[in-house]
Structure 1
């Protein structure tokens, strides 16, 4: 609500606080949304390392978007040490769930999609 301003006055800082509370309780969508906001510096200063941690937490729960995001972070070294093998791991996790974006990323890296 606070992030979109739907029904209340928009307040990104409050939105981040609520996402963080839910993320700490294991809510994967909140973990992902918090990571996006931290990565962009919305509601708080940008923190790519914290964003990567939350992307990975959601990815471990099977969230495809988070798997792609942590894969992208690992591939680029954004907030984490660059790690091609780990990026491939997360892309493969998403590809196993029939995600076309993951398949394209694997192909672009010269990997089989199989």
Structure 2
């Protein structure tokens, strides 16, 4: 018997957040792009019912909540997103989160740093 897996994703959600190891980064903030993707079994008797899927607006609101506070490391933000998704949606099979920091303060020209977490049940 075949199985169908559904994926819901948000790509390149842009945030200006006070995240950084150095106090200047937390004071001035920086630009970040976040990708999040979740998958779960497709068991959808009516594909026009929002209750039968995951609302990507709710995914975005989780990102807004996690990216707002001051913190030192992107790793903690990625972990908080992962934990919040697992808490809210019990049926998730996979979760992928990537957070890209624009122009991190290490002297690179138009560089990005990236932290990613991947979960698989």
User: TM-score, structure 1 length as denominator?
Assistant: 0.25
Report which of the two has the higher share of strand: 2
User: TM-score, structure 2 length as denominator?
Assistant: 0.24
Q: Which has the higher contact order (CA 8 A, sep 6+)?
A: 2
Report which of the two has the higher share of helix: 1
